[in-house]
Every structure is written in structure tokens, then in C-alpha cells.
């Protein structure tokens, strides 16, 4: 990899990993609609709206790899999610195809499988169970990546991210926390591993309480450095400050599941 582009550079996840990416490739170009407030003098930035296909083409000109973190990152109105995460993502994959980008890292989400219950463990091949319109957009992204991998030869690495932070913020996050350093390790695997075609892994550090079987990531060489159990006291103290959530507390997606919930799962497993 000579030139790598990262979208979503102004977002919370990218703010945490940008310092860790410096120097990994000869050229790293950061992009989002607005420059990060903490943009450093040694960082290269290009403002791009993903809904603008011409601008996305220009962004990916000459790129070898793409770390796609851009888009609408929470639940919201369909119009906003559609423009950023459906239209914008299609533009991004089309630009990657036409510009000859070799690898795409797609920041998928635990919300693509948010309606699985917490009393079992799932692997990376399970059926999608999105918990929100945002989750639906991540399922779409994984499906679009599969198309571009198998039809057009763009190698795609989907990371179903749990929660990126220096430490897990509550009881739920003890099961799906991802330290920034471990996310960077996954990104490097996705850009470098020769066997990547259209792969899905879970973005989590070493979480002893995990609901996800991440053996596929381990088969690709992933060895997380950080342990969620090191932060149990903090996470449980923070959990004690939260009100109970009768719906969200049952499912992987937490409060995303309880938003707008209207009894649809009363008789389902």
C-alpha cells in the first residue's frame, strides 16, 4: 500500500485511531465533509461529501486502499441515512472499482446483528438482524461489498465494530468493547492479508463475556492486546448510573433495540 484514504476522519472513531495510523503508509489522506477540529499540520485532508460521486472519484484517484469510516453513524431519519449510507456508500464502492482500489475496509456495526439475544454466542456467518434503520444500512454495506468483491475483484474486509473507546463504558460494552489499538490491528489485517476476499469479522478486543465468536479474525492473525475484564470495576460503576431497559438489556444492540420498539418480538426467540 502506497496511498491509503480514510473517510469519516472527523468522526469519533477516527479521532481515536488517526494518531495510530501515522507512518504506516507513505501517504494517508483523511476525508470527511468538514476537517477535524484537531487536524495536525502533518495530516493531509480532503473535504468530500460522499453523496457527490465526482468528488469521491477524485478522492480515490491513485489510492491503493480505503478505510471507509464515513457516513451517518447513529440512528436517525431514513432520508439522512439513505443519502450517506446508501447513496454515499454506493458512490464509494463505484469509485473504488473504477479507480482500481485494491482493498476496502468497511466499518460495519454490531447493529447489523443487534436483535440477537445476549444468552447465546454467534459467529460471523449468522443471518443479519438489524436493530435500526442505521443497522439496515450496515447490512446493505456488507451486501454491497460482497457484490463488488465477487463481481469486480475489489477485496473487502467488513469489521462489525462493537464500541471503540479506551475502556468499556458499561456492562454491555464489557461484551463488545474495542480498544483503538486493536481496531488498527484489524485494519492492517484487512489491508495486508493475502487471503482477504469478502470477509466479516467482529471488532472487539479480548472480551471474556463476548457474545460473538471471533475465531475467523483469529484465523487471519488477529491477536487483541487489550482485555475488557481489566476495566470491570469502572464499567459496572457506570452501569449503576443507568436506568434499566427491559428491551435493550436483552439484545446485543442495547438501546438501539428499544428505540421505537412496539412489541414486535413478543412471541419470537
What is the per-residue pLDDT for 224? Answer: 98
What are the tens digits of pLDDT across the range 137-165?
999 999 999 999 999 999 999 999 999 99
Report helix, strand or coil for 109.
Answer: strand
Whether the predicted pLDDT of 268 surpasses 60: no
**C-alpha 127: how far from its chain's center?**
18
Mean pLDDT, range 13-31, rounded to an integer: 97
What are the tens digits of pLDDT across the range 245-263?
999 999 999 999 999 999 8
**Contact criterion met (CB below 8 Å) for 211 and 118:** yes
Mean pLDDT, range 204-210, rounded to an integer: 98
CB-based burial, 227-244: b 16+ in 10 Å, e otherwise: ebeebeeebeebeeeeee
Mean pLDDT, range 16-30, rounded to an integer: 97
What are the tens digits of pLDDT across the range 217-250?
999 999 999 999 999 999 999 999 999 999 999 9
Q: How many residues does the chain have?
A: 269
Q: How confident is the model at residue 269 (pLDDT cuts 50, 70, 90)?
A: low
Residues 130, 259: Cα–Cα separation, whole Å: 13
The domain limits of the chain are 3-258
Q: How confident is the model at residue 103 (pLDDT cuts 50, 70, 90)?
A: very high
CB-based burial, 174-201: b 16+ in 10 Å, e otherwise: bbbbbbbebbbbbbbbbbeeeebebbbb
What is the per-residue pLDDT for 230? Answer: 98
**Degrees (nearest 5) of the Cα angle 2, 179, 68?**
40
What are the E-state strand segments in the chain? 3-7, 27-32, 44-47, 65-68, 103-109, 155-161, 163-164, 177-178, 198-203
Average pLDDT across the chain, whole number: 96
The pTM (predicted TM-score) of the whole model is: 0.96
CATH architecture of 3-258: 3-Layer(aba) Sandwich (3.40)
Residues 264, 262: Cα–Cα separation, whole Å: 6
| The one catalytic residue among 134, 148, 202, 222 | 134
Name the packing angle between helices 88-98 and 133-152 (round to 10°). 20
- Indicate if 90 belongs to the active site: no
Amino acid at each position: 500500500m502506497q496511498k491509503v484514504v480514510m473517510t469519516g476522519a472527523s468522526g469519533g472513531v477516527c479521532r481515536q485511531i488517526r494518531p495510530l495510523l501515522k507512518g504506516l503508509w507513505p501517504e494517508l489522506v483523511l476525508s470527511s465533509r468538514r476537517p477535524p477540529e484537531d487536524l495536525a499540520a502533518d495530516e493531509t485532508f480532503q473535504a468530500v461529501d460522499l453523496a457527490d460521486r465526482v468528488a469521491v472519484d477524485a478522492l480515490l484517484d491513485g489510492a491503493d486502499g480505503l478505510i471507509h469510516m464515513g457516513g451517518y453513524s447513529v440512528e436517525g431519519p431514513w432520508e439522512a441515512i439513505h443519502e450517506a449510507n446508501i447513496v454515499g456508500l454506493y458512490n464509494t464502492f463505484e469509485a473504488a472499482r473504477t479507480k482500481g482500489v485494491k482493498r476496502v475496509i468497511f466499518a460495519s456495526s454490531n447493529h447489523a446483528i443487534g436483535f440477537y439475544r445476549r444468552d447465546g454466542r454467534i459467529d460471523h456467518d449468522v443471518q443479519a438482524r438489524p436493530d435500526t434503520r442505521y443497522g439496515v444500512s450496515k447490512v446493505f454495506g456488507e451486501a454491497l461489498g460482497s457484490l463488488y468483491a465477487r463481481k469486480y475483484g475489489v477485496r473487502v474486509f467488513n469489521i462489525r465494530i462493537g464500541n471503540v473507546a479506551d475502556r468499556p463504558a458499561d456492562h454491555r460494552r464489557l461484551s463488545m468493547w474495542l480498544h483503538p489499538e486493536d481496531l488498527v490491528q484489524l485494519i492492517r489485517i484487512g489491508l495486508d492479508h493475502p487471503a482477504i476476499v469478502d470477509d466479516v469479522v467482529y471488532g472487539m478486543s479480548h472480551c471474556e463475556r463476548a457474545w460473538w465468536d471471533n475465531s475467523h479474525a483469529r484465523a487471519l492473525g488477529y491477536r487483541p492486546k487489550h482485555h475488557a475484564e481489566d476495566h470491570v470495576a469502572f464499567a459496572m460503576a457506570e452501569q449503576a448510573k443507568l436506568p434499566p431497559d427491559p428491551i435493550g438489556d436483552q439484545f446485543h444492540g442495547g438501546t438501539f433495540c428499544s428505540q421505537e420498539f412496539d412489541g414486535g418480538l413478543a412471541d419470537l426467540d
